[in-house]
Structure 1
Amino acid sequence: MEQILADFYPRTEVPYPVILARMVGAILLGAVIGAEREYRAHAAGLRTHILVALSACVFAILALESVHMEGLADEQVRIDPLRVIEAVTAGVAFLAAGMIVFSRGQVKGLTTGAGMWLAGAVGLAVGLGYWFVGFFATLACFIVLFIVGKIEAPDDASKAKKNADR
């Protein structure tokens, strides 16, 4: 029984409270990014962005920890944490591409897809311990989506009216 309990909490390079803080941070920052998409009633909203950021964070933590695992310390085993970053980038890009639709001469979902990709990057940053990068990227995203979005809103409304008149 003791061995089973020990398996639930293996020795880690990053302490468990820090791992928990990184995961909570990814959830919160992903929520900030997804909030605007949710507010505008887009398909990939709050939950999607949270899950993308959290999953990227978990992959980053696992990449960090795998380098230090006892069973993988053999010289014949090559672990490259950069491959995890590449895999997360490709995986999130695949999800984001699914959000992009070309319909009636207009591209839709591009900003949502870009937001999902950024949520993945923020999750990776926080998961790797680069909190400042994650916070600043989220702040920049907030400014772009909310403030720049407000500036573009009148233009979008006039485009929608023109398309409705056709």
Structure 2
Amino acid sequence: MEQLAVVGGVAYAMVLGGVIGFERELRDRPAGFRTHMLVAGAAALLVGMERLVLEDHLGLGALLQVDPLRLVEAVVAGVAFIGAGTIFARRGNGAISGITTAATLLMVASIGVSVGFGLHVLAASTTALTLLVLTLLRMLERWMHPDRNGMPRDDSSPREDGCDTDSPGRR
């Protein structure tokens, strides 16, 4: 029965990750719907498995020392590898792209970890906040910088996060 609860948590994390991934998919980013779902689900599964293993070995007492944050560190390291791939997958002309998508992968992994620890309200709230950042702040950037509205400039393509790649120290 506990395993089914973990599966439910994985499904919930995948739905939350999918919501963020859908936004990335609409923007045609290197990691979209499926990738975000899988990252969130994997994080929830790893934390859920840790909880199940610990519950099964409660009788070991002092022999078993656990630091739940070590697993979180492992999740972050795995996501960093995937995120690095999204940053370099886009353009070969020297422009930096994919940083926001890499950050969303870290967020969905964190959301998955939250679900794995049973922090469902925190996970749902963080999903909403992430969508708020991705949508409302993007609209604000476009309003503040109408010359950047996603159109490539003469010398290079715009960065995904809206920052100017020609600024000093940005290359």
Question: What's the TM-score, normalizing by structure 1?
Answer: 0.79
The yes-or-no answer on 1:139 pairing with 2:128 is yes
Q: 1:100 aligned to 2:92? A: no
Alignment of 1:1-166 (within 5 A): 15-70=2-57, 73=60, 75-101=62-88, 103-153=92-142, 154-157=146-149, 160-163=152-155
Contact (CA 8 Å) 1:64, 1:81: kept in 2 or not? no
Distance across 2 between alignment mates of 1:98 and 1:53: 17
Instruction: Tell me which moved more, 151-160 or 78-87.
Output: 151-160
Deviation of residue 58 (structure 1)?
0.2
Distance in structure 2 (CA, Å) of the matches to 1:157 and 1:124? 35
Cα deviation for residue 164 of structure 1 reads 6.7
Q: SS of 1:63's equivalent? A: helix
Equivalences, count: 152
Shift of 1:82: 1.7
Equivalent residue, structure 1, for 2:167: none
**CA contact under 8 A between 1:126 and 1:134: conserved in structure 2?**
yes
- Among the aligned pairs, what percent are the same residue? 32
Q: Structure 2: which 5+ runs fail to align? A: 158-171
Aligned partners of 2:44 and 2:116 also within 8 Å: yes
Structure 1: 5+ residue stretches without partners? 1-11
The one-letter code sitting in structure 1 at the alignment partner of 2:105 is M
